[in-house]
Chain A
Amino acid sequence: MTAVPVPPVSLATPAPAPESRRRVVDTRGLSLTFQTADGPVYALSDVDIAIEQGEFVSFIGPSGCGKTTLLRVIADLEQPTGGDIQVNGVSPREARLGRAYGYVFQAAGLYPWRTIERNVALPLEIMGVPATERRERVRQHLDLVGLGGFEKKFPWQLSGGMQQRASIARALCFDPELLLMDEPFGALDEIVRDHLNEQLLRLWDKTGKTVVFVTHSIPEAVFLSTKIVVMSPRPGKIIDVIPTDFDRDRTLDIRETPGFLEVAHRVRQGLRAGHSYDD
C-alpha cells in the first residue's frame, strides 16, 4: 500500500472547535421490540444517543445486540415501537425522502443485471443526475475504492470484497451528508481493510460528513471514530460511550501509541461487561 512517511502523532491536539454543530441523529428512550412466533425480541431498549454533524460514531457490540436495527431505524427501514427519534431535526421518514443518507448494507446487494459502473450510477439515475456528471462521479468513486478498470464487469464476476467496495462507492457517489455503514469492511482482508480505513478517514476529514459506523473490530472503531458506542444484547442497550480525540490527519501507525491502546482497552472492558452468556 502507500508508504508515506509518518508524521509524529500528537495526541494532545484537540479536534477543531465545534462551531454551533447541528444534531444529525437524536434519539430519546428509543425502543424496538420484534414480535416473533417465539415471543418478543427486545432488539433496542431505551437508547439515548445524540450524533452531531461531522462526527464519526462507531457502534460496537456482540452479534445480535441491535446495531443493524438501530441503523435501520435511523434509515426509516424499521419503525421503533417506543421513544423518539429525529434525523436532521425531522422524522426519519422525512429525512429519507429528502435523501439525507447513504446506506452501506452488511452485504453488497448489487443488481446482477447491471455492470459495476451502472450499479454505482443507480442512485444518481434515480435522483436525476445528468449522464455526463454521472459518468464523472462514478469514475471518481470507483477509483476511490480501487475498482478503476472494473467498470464493465458484472458483480458476480468480482470477489466478495470487491463487490462490497462497489457498494461503498454506490453509497458515496451521490454525496450524502450522512453515511450509515453496517460492517462495510467485514468481508475484506486486513490490508484492503487498512487501506479503506485510511481512505474513509481522509474522506470524512475532507468532506465533514457525519458517519455512523457499525463494526466488530475494536482497532477499526478506535482508529476511525470520534465517539465509540459500546452496546450489549438482550435487550440491546448502550452501556458505554467513549469519546476519542486523536489528530484528524492520523495514520494507521497511531495504533501502536499508548493513547490508542488505552481507548481500545476501555472498549474491550465495556464489551466484556456487557457480554453475558446466560442464555
Chain B
Amino acid sequence: MSSRFDPWCAVATVLAILALAFPVAGGEAPLLWWGAPAAAGGLAIFLLTVLHFAWRRPTGAGHNIILLAAVAVGCASALGLVHGGGAGGHTTFGFWLFVFGLWAATWRGLDGLAGVRSFDAGRQRLIDLSVPVLFGLWLVFLLEVGTVGFGVPQVLLPAPSMIGARLAGSLDILAADFQQTFLKAVLIGYAIGCGTGFMVAVLVDRVPFLQRGLLPLGNLVSALPIVGMAPIMVMWFGFDWPSKAAVVVIMTFFPMLVNTVTGLTAAGAMERELMRSYAAGYWQTLFKLRLPAALPFVFNALKINSTLALIGAIVAEFFGTPIVGMGFRISTEVGRMNVDMVWAEIVMAAIAGSAFYGVMALTERTFTFWHPSYRERR
C-alpha cells in the first residue's frame, strides 16, 4: 500500500528536473538556476519531496500536508524570483516548467487532502475548510507569477500583491465606502425587501386568485433588470443611500415573495390531513406545519437575495451618489486609471458578499438541518 507509484508526483519530478536544464529568465543576461541560489535551494527541497512521493503515493492527512508544505516552499522561491530575483517581466522556460511542476504536486496534495476522512468532527471540518482555502491561495499564486512574470501592464490586470498593498493602504476610504454601501444600502434594503416579501407572501397565500395570479407575475418581475430603476429611485429618494436601499428593496422583494408562496405549498398531503384530523386552526397549521416546511424555500430566497442586494446597491451608485460608496469609488477610480483601487473595492465586495452569503447558508443549516440535503451531515 505505502509504496505505490504516484503519477502526479512523478510528473512533478520530471518537470522540476527539466526546469533545472533551462534558464529562469531571458533578456540580455539569461538568469540560470545557480545564479539564484536561494530559489535553487527551494527547488531542490521541492524536487526531493516529490521524488520521494513519486514512489510512495502520499496517503492520509500527514503525507499530503508535507507535500503541500514542499509546494509552499517552491511557491516562495518562484515568488522570490519574480519579485526582486531579477526574473520579473522576462521569465522563460525554466521558470514555467517549475511552476507546472508545482501545479502537478498541488493537484495531488489537494486531491489527497480532499479524500481524507476523519472520525474526529473538528478535524474533518478543518480539512474540509483547508482544501478550498489552499486552492484559493494557489490561484492567487498563479495570478501573481502570471502577472509579474509576464510583466502584464497594471491597467489591464494588477498583480494580487499590488491590490493587497492598495487595500492595506486605503483602509479608511474602504471602511467609509463599506459603511455607506453595505451597512446602509444593502443591509437595510435587504431587511425591508425580504421582510415585506415574506409577509406579503403569507397574506397572498390566503387569497387563492392572488396565489395563482401573482406567482407568474412575480417570476416575471424577478427576471427583470431592476437596477435600471435606479435613476428613478434617485429622483424619488434623493442621492444618498435611501435611493440605493430602495433599489435593493425592489430587487429582493420578488424573489422572497415567489419563493415563500411556493414554499407554503410544500407541506405534504398527509401532513396537512393530520392537522385537519386534530381540527387545527389556520394559524396553528401555518406555524406548526406550513412555515417549517417552507423554510428551505425561504432560505433559498435569503441566499439569492444576499448576492442580488450587493450587486443592486453597487450598480445603483453608478447613477448618481454622494462622494462615498463602493459603486461610486469603482466608477470614478476606473476613470482615473487607478485600477488597483477598483480591484481593491472588488475584492472587498467579494469578501463582504461571500461572508453575507456564508452567514445565510450557516443559518439555513441550523434551521433546516432536517432537510434531506443536510441530514447525513449530522
Contact = CB atoms under 8 A, between A and B. Distances in A.
Nearest to A171: B277
A126 B370 contact: no
B206 interface: no
Contact of A113 (B268, B275, B279, B292): B292
A96 B274 contact: no
B260 to A, nearest CB: 17
A107 B270 CA distance: 9
B274 A105 contact: yes
Nearest to B367: A113
A77 B276 contact: yes
B353 to A, nearest CB: 29
Given A105-B270, A111-B289, A126-B284, A156 B375 contact: yes
Contacts of A101: 277
A103 B277 contact: yes
B119 interface: no
Given A125-B288, A126-B288, A109 B274 contact: yes
Contacts of B66: none
Nearest to A97: B279
Contacts of B370: 112-113, 154, 156
A140 B141 CA distance: 63
B333 interface: no
A113 B271 CA distance: 12
Contacts of A111: 271, 289, 292
A99 interface: yes
Interface in A167-206: 174
Nearest to A96: B279
A122 interface: yes
A122 B288 contact: yes
A112 B296 CA distance: 13
A271 interface: no
Contact of A103 (B271, B274, B280, B284): B274
A264 interface: no
A156 B289 CA distance: 17
A99 B274 CA distance: 12
A120 to B, nearest CB: 12
Contacts of B275: 126
A105 B273 CA distance: 10
A77 B278 contact: no
Interface string A141-164: 000000000000010100000000
Interface string B260-295: 000000001011011111111000100011001001
Interface string B332-356: 0000000000000000000000000
Contact of A96 (B277, B288, B295): B277
B280 A126 contact: yes
Nearest to B371: A112
A6 interface: no
Interface in B352-375: 368, 370-372, 375
Interface string A84-120: 0000000000001111011101010101110000000
Contact of B273 (A77, A99, A102): A77
Contact of B268 (A96, A109, A127): A109
Contacts of B292: 111, 113
Interface string A62-78: 00000000000001110
B277 A77 contact: yes
A154 B369 CA distance: 10
Contact of A99 (B271, B278, B284, B375): B278
Given A111-B292, A154-B370, A127 B274 contact: no
Contacts of A97: 279
A130 to B, nearest CB: 16
B296 to A, nearest CB: 10
Nearest to A105: B270
23 contacts: A75-B277, A77-B273, A77-B276, A96-B276, A96-B279, A99-B279, A103-B273, A103-B277, A105-B270, A105-B273, A105-B274, A109-B268, A111-B271, A112-B370, A113-B295, A113-B370, A122-B278, A123-B278, A126-B278, A126-B280, A126-B284, A126-B288, A156-B370
Interface of B: 268, 270-271, 273-280, 284, 288-289, 292, 295, 368, 370-372, 375
Of all A-B residue pairs in the complex, the 3 with the closest CB atoms, nearest first, are A112-B370, A109-B270, A113-B370
Interface of A: 75-77, 96-99, 101-103, 105, 107, 109, 111-113, 122-123, 125-127, 154, 156, 174
Given A98-B279, A99-B279, A126-B280, 12 more contacts: A77-B273, A96-B277, A96-B279, A103-B273, A105-B274, A109-B270, A109-B274, A122-B288, A123-B278, A126-B288, A127-B278, A156-B370
